[in-house]
């Protein structure tokens, strides 16, 4: 039976599955392991089930014992892992696509609604009490008829588009390649981010974090948007230059922002806290019980498939 290090605590159903499939080392206290501790604890193991909180950079991977043959990431993203370093060391890296798309798309819609309808300000006002209704009290932006730009029309982007369309939004998107008409569902394709941003009353960021997408929202690109646009991010914090977005919000070039992800999580750039029109969540994209169990189970299945066949359909390197 293969010995597996599981770096973070899983929901019981998934830990039971791991025990039936492998000889697992569990993180019973859900401690955030340092890189050196991951290296130490992985001695004698054949694989590691990591999460996004584990920084598996080149230095860490090179120090892993030679017995480690697979890193199964408990996430659809894998920006926390140096794929090239893993490949050079003969370590397969896998992710958990598809199973979290519905839950993450729901949060994507929540960000759009929360930012457009000034939910953060409304919550504070309701909690403080004493608010008085007036015709212009907490006036927000209506979604019906608004143009939604989707940056990255993959599984999550397509699901957000489908829900947003049912709310009366007009869908535009930019992707590495144009989708088939069947997948587009009437959305308009843009071959550049400048073209997309220029028609986006609301933007939903759904693309992967890569070298090409890092700081894609920056001092230059925020100027492409219509004045008073809304920017939301359900993908990865690295895609947004925080200082540029904060400046645009303060200048009212950008009306509001909805962020489930941000750089240096869980430490939010303090500039956001000074802006009432920012709707912030603590990375809740996949945070439903069913989804987290499905993700962990898939991460376990990825390891099992790899050791049984020598490959895995969810291998990313």
Annotated catalytic, 147? no
**Residues contacting 27, CB < 8 A, separation 6+:** 6, 7, 8, 9, 33
Annotated catalytic, 243? no
Report helix, strand or coil for 253.
Answer: coil
Q: Which two tokens stand for residue 105?
A: 């798309």
Say if CB 285 and CB 100 are below 8 A apart: yes
CA dist., res. 150 & res. 119, Å (int): 22
Residues above pLDDT 70, as percent of the chain? 100
- Mean pLDDT over 165-189 rounds to 96
**pLDDT above 90: residue 84:** yes
Chain-centroid distance, C-alpha 81: 15
Q: What is the per-residue pLDDT for 248?
A: 98
Q: Which of 236, 251, 292, 305 is catalytic?
A: 236
> What φ, ψ does residue 230 adopt, rounded to 5°?
-120, 135
CA dist., res. 81 & res. 79, Å (int): 5
Q: Which of 121, 147, 214, 283 is catalytic?
A: 283
- Mean pLDDT over 221-239 rounds to 97
CA dist., res. 139 & res. 135, Å (int): 8
Structural domain spans, the chain: 3-98+288-309, 101-280
Annotated catalytic, 252? no
- The burial of 137, by beta-carbon neighbours within 10 Å (0-12 exposed, 13-18 middle, 19 or more buried), is given as exposed
The CATH fold of domain 3-98+288-309: Rossmann fold (3.40.50)
Under CATH, to which class is 101-280 assigned? alpha beta
């Amino acid at each position: 039976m293969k010995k597996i290090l599981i770096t973070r605590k899983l929901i019981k159903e998934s830990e039971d599955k791991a025990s039936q499939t492998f000889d697992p080392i569990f993180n019973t206290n859900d401690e955030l392991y340092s890189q050196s501790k991951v290296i130490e604890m992985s001695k004698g193991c054949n694989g590691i089930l990591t999460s996004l909180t584990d920084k598996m950079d080149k230095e860490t991977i090179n120090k892993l014992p030679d017995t480690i043959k697979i890193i199964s990431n408990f996430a659809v993203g894998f920006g926390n892992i140096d794929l090239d370093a893993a490949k050079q060391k003969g370590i397969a890296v896998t992710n958990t696509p598809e199973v979290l798309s519905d839950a993450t798309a729901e949060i994507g819609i929540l960000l759009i609604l929360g930012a457009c309808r000034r939910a953060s300000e409304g919550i504070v006002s309701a909690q403080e009490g004493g608010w008085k209704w007036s015709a212009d009290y907490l006036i927000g932006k209506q979604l019906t008829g608004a143009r939604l730009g989707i940056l990255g029309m993959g599984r999550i982007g397509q699901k957000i588009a489908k829900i947003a369309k049912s709310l009366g939004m007009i869908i535009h998107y930019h992707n590495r390649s144009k989708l088939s008409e069947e997948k587009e569902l009437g959305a308009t394709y843009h071959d550049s981010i400048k073209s997309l941003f220029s028609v986006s009353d609301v933007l939903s960021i759904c693309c992967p974090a890569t070298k090409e997408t890092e700081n894609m929202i920056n001092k230059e690109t925020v100027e492409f948007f219509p004045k008073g646009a809304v920017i939301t991010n359900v993908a990865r914090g690295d895609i947004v230059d925080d200082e540029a977005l904060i400046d645009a919000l303060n200048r009212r070039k950008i009306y509001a922002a909805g962020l489930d992800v941000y750089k240096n999580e869980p430490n939010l750039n303090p500039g956001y806290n000074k802006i009432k029109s920012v709707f912030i969540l603590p990375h809740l994209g996949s945070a439903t019980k069913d989804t987290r169990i499905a993700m962990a189970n898939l991460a376990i299945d990825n390891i099992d498939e790899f050791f049984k066949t020598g490959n895995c359909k969810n291998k990313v390197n």
